[in-house]
Amino acid sequence: MYRTRRLSRPAQLDLRAALREADGAPCLVALPGDDGVSISSFETAGLRLSRVADPRGLLLVLSLEEPSRRDLFAEICSDCIRSVLRSEDEGEVELVTVLAARLAAWRAFLRDQTGALSRNEIIGLIGELLVLDRLLDENAEAVAAWKAPDDGLHDFEVSGHGLEVKTALGAARQLHISTLDQLDDAGLTSLHVMHVRLVESAIGKTLGQITTRIEQRLTGERARSGFRNALLRRGLAPSDDTNAGPRVTCAGVDGYAVIDGFPRLRRSDVALGIAEATYQVEARALVAFTVDAATVLDTFGGRA
């Protein structure tokens, strides 16, 4: 079925480079044992992850199904192997879990992305990361509260408290709201908006420098690996040139409480038949809802 050759490393997980005998398709094969039963199969972007019965036990097979995606297949295989090796070097023994988490992150990336992040997407991600960096001052496990990589309704959420991050570069004073549910606080104890104001500067930080700083703040390879997986699910591929985007500094962060009277559209506010809507909110219309941003971040960080 497969012609395989085991990789010299990792030592604690049987990983093999393989060719499928039927058609010569390249594959990355793992023998995960019983731990592989719960790993979800998928097929997307010309790649397939499948579970295959074999006399040696269950095989987990990542295969190239479209020859035109060979470069992508090679990138994903190399990246997954690096993730496993980093974890093994740090003493991690649950390497099947590491591999499964990285493959799941790639699946999310391939499902949602058609190319590199746009400039506006980079700016939005920078804003989220600057807030995450600040939350880490209060809680070392604040990465778990970052829900945007998992298509969460709010960018950060924990214990019933939601935090939505809106980022502007330059003089823009409008907050872009992308769905009717984004500012709906139903079911939440509280919902706040952080408006992160950025300016371009020669001495500013790039997206790559910001991600590196956060990764270096995290303790242990398990936490760092989780952060890298979150970045991938959020749309940032390891091969992206993260130092090519804008260099920015934070000019300030404004906090707002989403309470009764806050200018917003919710699904319950619009006529039946309107499926979705995007709109802009003027920041100057939010003065009455201003709260101390530091207090919100301190409190939110402490709950994670």
> What is the number of domains present in the chain?
2
Whether the per-residue pLDDT at 264 is higher than 60: the answer is yes
Residues 141 and 267 in one domain: yes
Q: From CA 99, how far away is CA 82, in angstroms rounded?
A: 10
Residues 58 and 78 in one domain: yes
Whether the per-residue pLDDT at 137 is higher than 50: the answer is yes
Q: What is the mean pLDDT of residues 185-206?
A: 95
Q: Domain containing 68: what range?
A: 2-112
Q: What is the mean pLDDT of residues 119-136?
A: 95
Residues 75 and 159 in one domain: no
Residues 184 and 278 in one domain: yes
Are the beta carbons of 91 and 214 closer than 8 angstroms?
no
Residues 103 and 148 in one domain: no
Among 62, 94, 112, give the residue marking a domain's end.
112
Pick from 69, 235, 75: nearest CA to 151: 235
Q: From CA 272, how far away is CA 53, in angstroms rounded?
A: 50
Among 79, 112, 145, give the residue marking a domain's end.
112
Whether the per-residue pLDDT at 60 is higher than 50: the answer is yes
The pTM of the full predicted model, rounded to 2 decimals, is 0.92
Are the beta carbons of 45 and 72 closer than 8 angstroms?
yes
Q: What is the mean pLDDT of residues 224-246?
A: 92
Residues 146 and 108 in one domain: no
Q: Which residues pair with 51 in a beta bridge?
A: 60
Residues 159 and 44 in one domain: no
Token output for 180:
């009717």
- Give strand ranges (E) for 36-118: 42-44, 47-52, 59-64
Residues 228 and 286 in one domain: yes
Are the beta carbons of 213 and 133 closer than 8 angstroms?
yes
Residues 78 and 159 in one domain: no
Residues 271 and 290 in one domain: yes
